[in-house]
C-alpha cells in the first residue's frame, strides 16, 4: 500500500519531520482524541515547513480576471511569502511567474499593478517577458548572461495557472492534480455560489488588504466549518436584528447541512426554517415550486430576471438546492474562503454580500487578508452597489462581522506564544456521523443538522498530510 494511502495514525513517526527539540511533527496531533497542539500556531519551524511543503504545492487564489483585462496588465500577489507577477499575455492568456530575477535574485517588478510587456531588473538590467521568459541581458556581445545556461534555463520560475468562476489560481507544483480535480465534488456547490450565470461575475474594485496579528491557520480552520462561534462571537448580529432569536434554532446557520472534501467545506443553510425567511414568510411553501420560490426571493446578488439563467444552467436538483438549502459559506483548502449570503435587515428587506478571500501568511504570527467583492456582471448598478455596500459593512477591514473575528484570532495567537500556552490543545471532539438527509442530491462527505467539528478536523488531517509529505 502506498504511504499516502496508509491511515495517518498507522504511519510510523520516523516518516514525520523532526523539529529542533526532537519532537516529531506527528506528536503535535492526537488522532485518537482529535486534538492539535497550539504550538502549530507559533512555531517558526512549522511555519517554514508550510512555506516549503504546503503553499507551493497547493492551489492559491491570487486575482480576479477583470483586474488584468488588457494585454500587459499585471498585479503583484503572493504564494506563501513568495511574490509573483500575474499578467495578461498578448494572446489573452494569463501567466504567473516568480518575481525574482534569475541573475542575482533582485526583486524584478516593484509596482503593485500596471501594464508592461517586459520587465527589466533594476540591478543589472536583465529583461524578461511577463510570463517569465528571459529576453536577454545588456552587453549581449560580451555574453553577460554567460554560455553555461541556455536562455530557457534563465527564465523566471513559472506557475501553472487555472481559472474558476473568474478567479485566478496558481500552483507551482507541475505534477499536482488540476484545480477542478482538486475541488472535486465541491464544484457542485461552489458553482451555485459563484458560477451562476452565462456572463459570470466581475470584481468590484481592487481587493481589500489588511493585516491581522495572528497565524493564518486561525482563520483557515475557522472557515473550515466553525459555525458554533456565530452564536457567541457574532451575537451582535442578533442584537442588531440581523439574525432572529425566535424559534427552536436561534441562528439560521445552525439549521442546515455541511458538505466536505479533502479539507474543503461548504455550509448549506436550511432557508425553509421559519425564522430564516424574509420574502417567503407567511407563504405556503409546499404550494410553491423551486423556481417560484427563487423568483420571489432570488439568490444573493441576483435579480428576478436572472432566475431563468439558473434554470437553464443547473440540474433540477441544484435548482431545488438553491431554493431550499443554498450553499452560502465555505472554504477551499488551505487558505481560501467564500461567502454568498443574504443580509436580512430589520425592515424585512434584503441586502447581499459576496466575497472571495484568502489569508496570505506573513510570518508565524501575522497574515494579510485579501478580500475581493464580486457581483454578477449583468446586474444593475443599483444591485452592484447593494453588494458593494453590504460586503464592506459585514466583511473587510470595516466590516462588523470581520471585526469580531479579527479580534479573537490575535487572542489565540497570544495564547500560543507562552511556554505553557503553546502546550495547550485545539480540540475538535464534537462528532456527528456522516449521513445525508433524505433526498440529498449533492456529492461529498455530508454531515446533516446542527454543525459539529468534523469538517474542521478534516482540515487538520489534510494539513498534516501535506506537511509530512503523505499527500
What are 278's three cell numbers? 424574509
pTM value is 0.92
Q: 205, 202, 210, 206: which is closest to 167 by C-alpha? A: 202
How confident is the model at residue 226, as a pLDDT? 86
Say if residues 331 and 264 touch (Cβ distance below 8 Å). Answer: yes
pLDDT tens column, 262-293: 999 999 988 876 555 566 666 677 778 999 99
Q: Give the separation between CA 33 and CA 31, rounded to whole angstroms.
A: 6
Q: 412, 425, 416, 422: which is closest to 35 by C-alpha? A: 425
Share of the chain above pLDDT 90, in %: 72
pLDDT tens column, 393-441: 888 888 888 888 888 999 999 999 999 999 999 999 988 878 888 899 9
Q: At what angle do helices 316-324 and 187-194 cross, to 10 degrees?
A: 70
Nearest 10 degrees: CA dihedral of 385, 359, 446, 186? 70
pLDDT at residue 246 tops 50: yes
pLDDT at residue 465 tops 90: yes
How confident is the model at residue 458, as a pLDDT? 96
Say if residues 249 and 255 touch (Cβ distance below 8 Å). Answer: yes
pLDDT at residue 237 tops 70: no
Residue located via cell numbers 514525520: 16
- Section 318-347 average pLDDT: 91
Q: Give the separation between CA 42 and CA 29, rounded to whole angstroms.
A: 15
pLDDT at residue 138 tops 90: no
What are 313's three cell numbers? 444552467
How confident is the model at residue 2, as a pLDDT? 38
pLDDT tens column, 53-89: 999 999 999 999 999 999 999 999 999 999 999 999 9
pLDDT tens column, 157-189: 999 999 999 999 999 999 999 999 999 999 999
Share of the chain above pLDDT 70, in %: 90
Residue located via cell numbers 468534523: 454
What are 340's three cell numbers? 454568498
pLDDT at residue 254 tops 70: no
Residue located via cell numbers 496531533: 29
Q: Give the separation between CA 453 and CA 367, rounded to whole angstroms.
A: 24
Q: Give the separation between CA 460 and CA 426, rounded to whole angstroms.
A: 10
Query: SS3 for 102?
Result: coil
DSSP string, 310-331: HHHHS-HHHHHHHHHS-EEEEE
Domains and CATH numbers, the chain: 66-161 (2.102.10.10), 181-467 (3.90.380.10)
Phi and psi at 72, nearest 5°, equal 95, -15
pLDDT at residue 3 tops 50: no
Q: 426, 176, 222: which is closest to 335 by C-alpha? A: 222
Rounded to the nearest 5 percent, the helix, strand and coil shares of the chain are: 30, 25, 45
pLDDT at residue 14 tops 70: no
Among 224-238, 298-312, 321-335, the minimum mean pLDDT is found in 224-238
Q: Alpha-carbon Rg of the chain, whole angstroms?
A: 23
Three-class DSSP labels, 397-435 = CCCHHHHHHHHHHHHHHHHHHCCCHHHCEEECCCCCCCE
Q: Give the separation between CA 376 and CA 200, rounded to whole angstroms.
A: 6
Confidence of residue 391 (pLDDT cuts 50, 70, 90): very high
Among 8-22, 182-196, 350-364, the minimum mean pLDDT is found in 8-22
- How does the average pLDDT of the chain come out, rounded? 89
Q: 346, 345, 327: which is closest to 337 by C-alpha? A: 327
Q: Give the separation between CA 386 and CA 336, rounded to whole angstroms.
A: 24
Amino acid at each position: 500500500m502506498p504511504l499516502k494511502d496508509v491511515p495517518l495514525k498507522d504511519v510510523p513517526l520516523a516518516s514525520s519531520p523532526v523539529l529542533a527539540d526532537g519532537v516529531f511533527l506527528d506528536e503535535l496531533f492526537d488522532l485518537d482524541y482529535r486534538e492539535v497542539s497550539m504550538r502549530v500556531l507559533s512555531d517558526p519551524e512549522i511555519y517554514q515547513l508550510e512555506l516549503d511543503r504546503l503553499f507551493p504545492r497547493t492551489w492559491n487564489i491570487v486575482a480576479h480576471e477583470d483586474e488584468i483585462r488588457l494585454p500587459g496588465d499585471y498585479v503583484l500577489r503572493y504564494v506563501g511569502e513568495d511574490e509573483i507577477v500575474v499578467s495578461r499575455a498578448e494572446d489573452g492568456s494569463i501567466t504567473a511567474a516568480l518575481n525574482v530575477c534569475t541573475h542575482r535574485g533582485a526583486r524584478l517588478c516593484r509596482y503593485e499593478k500596471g501594464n508592461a510587456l517586459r520587465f527589466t531588473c533594476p540591478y543589472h538590467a536583465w529583461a524578461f517577458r511577463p510570463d517569465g521568459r528571459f529576453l536577454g541581458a545588456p552587453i549581449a556581445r560580451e555574453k553577460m548572461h554567460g554560455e553555461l545556461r541556455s536562455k530557457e534555463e534563465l527564465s523566471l520560475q513559472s506557475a501553472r495557472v487555472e481559472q474558476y468562476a473568474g478567479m485566478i489560481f496558481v500552483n507551482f507544483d507541475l505534477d499536482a492534480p488540476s484545480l477542478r480535480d482538486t475541488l472535486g465534488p465541491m464544484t457542485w456547490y461552489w458553482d451555485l455560489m459563484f458560477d451562476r450565470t452565462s456572463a459570470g461575475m466581475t470584481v468590484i474594485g481592487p481587493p481589500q488588504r489588511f493585516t491581522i496579528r495572528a497565524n493564518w491557520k486561525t482563520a483557515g480552520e475557522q472557515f473550515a466549518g466553525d459555525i458554533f462561534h456565530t452564536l457567541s462571537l457574532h451575537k451582535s448580529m442578533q442584537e442588531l436584528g440581523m439574525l432572529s432569536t425566535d424559534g427552536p434554532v436561534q441562528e439560521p446557520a445552525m439549521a442546515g447541512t455541511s458538505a466536505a472534501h479533502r479539507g474543503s467545506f461548504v455550509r448549506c443553510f436550511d432557508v425553509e426554517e421559519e425564522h430564516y425567511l424574509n420574502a417567503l414568510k407567511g407563504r405556503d411553501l409546499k404550494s410553491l415550486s423551486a423556481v417560484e420560490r427563487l423568483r420571489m426571493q432570488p439568490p444573493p446578488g441576483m435579480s428576478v430576471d436572472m432566475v431563468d439563467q439558473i434554470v437553464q444552467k443547473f440540474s433540477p436538483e441544484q435548482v431545488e438546492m438553491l431554493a431550499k438549502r443554498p450553499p452560502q459559506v465555505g472554504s477551499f483548502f488551505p487558505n481560501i474562503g467564500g461567502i454568498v449570503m443574504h443580509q436580512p435587515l430589520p425592515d424585512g428587506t434584503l441586502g447581499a454580500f459576496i466575497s472571495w478571500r484568502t489569508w496570505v501568511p506573513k510570518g508565524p504570527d501575522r497574515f494579510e487578508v485579501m478580500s475581493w467583492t464580486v457581483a454578477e456582471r449583468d446586474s444593475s448598478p443599483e444591485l452592484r452597489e447593494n453588494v458593494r455596500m453590504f460586503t464592506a459593512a459585514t466583511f473587510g477591514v470595516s466590516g462588523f462581522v470581520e471585526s469580531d473575528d479579527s479580534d479573537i484570532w490575535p487572542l489565540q495567537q497570544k495564547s500560543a506564544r507562552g511556554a505553557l500556552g503553546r502546550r495547550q490543545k485545539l480540540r475538535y471532539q464534537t462528532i456527528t456521523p456522516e449521513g445525508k438527509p433524505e433526498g440529498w442530491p449533492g456529492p461529498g462527505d455530508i454531515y446533516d443538522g446542527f454543525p459539529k467539528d468534523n469538517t474542521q478536523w478534516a482540515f487538520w488531517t489534510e494539513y498534516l498530510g501535506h506537511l509530512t509529505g503523505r499527500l
